[in-house]
Amino acid sequence: MNKVPWIGLVNVLPLPGNNQLSVDKGAYINILAPALNYTDYCASVTEELLRLKYYIVEYEDVEKFIDRANRCLLSDELHKLAENVEQSGDIVLGTLHTYKKD
């Protein structure tokens, strides 16, 4: 079975050494990754986010990209990210949508 692009919205907080977010902020990120299933997606994304010094608060709406695209109108950015995943096999992060932590 071949891996296909999956997408999920991931809520993250910065770990020490993360220079993308200040300590008082969190972020939601659409992340696309090649995966066989939900478990494979979460394992790959978790490994990548830990490498980038992010703590994962939660995963939301994880599914095959094609299923989301068939059900919802998605931005050109997300379609381009999915093409990138399909061609390169890399995990790609969309725009960080930040929020102030309590």
* pLDDT band, residue 23 (cuts 50/70/90): confident
pLDDT digits (tens, 9 = 90+) for 37-78: 999 999 999 999 999 999 999 999 999 999 999 999 999 999
How many domains would you assign to the chain? 1
Report the predicted TM-score, pTM, of the whole model to 2 decimal places: 0.92
**CA 20-14-82 angle, 5° bins:** 65
**CA 80-81-83 angle, 5° bins:** 65
Residues of the domain holding 60 = 4-100
